[in-house]
Amino acid sequence: MSTHHTPESSAHLSEPNCIFCKIVQGQIPSQKVFEDEDLLAFHDINPWAPIHFLIIPKTHIASMAQLNPSHEAMMGRIMVKAGELALQVGALPYPEGGFRVVVNTGRHGGQEVHHVHVHVLAGERPWQKI
């Protein structure tokens, strides 16, 4: 019997053991950057850059691998929000400034929390000054 999940079976309103679902529900505190009916953005607790926040859908979707065409508008909103929010929290404007968007997917892709999330990173990177 296959343990593969279809995209439809892996999208739920929330998963009880998911740390990001607990943040959405207010069970775990976060430093919010933005929130609306569908999305939540909050600062990463282990930042890789001077500006580092995550944007997540409030609905639990395990990873990018589970996205389907019904998620296109939501993912498009996340991508547009990334730039808007980066500037709001202090990123310098393009082209001198800018930001980086990273999505880890699965174990080989470095995904640690299995709730789709987009990392937005900005600010000076120390290794560029070498």
- 117 tagged catalytic: yes
Please, which residues have CB within 8 angstroms of residue 89's CB and are 6 or more apart in sequence? 33, 51, 53, 122
Given the residues 60, 71, 115, 117, select the one marked as catalytic. Answer: 117
Active-site annotation, residues: 117
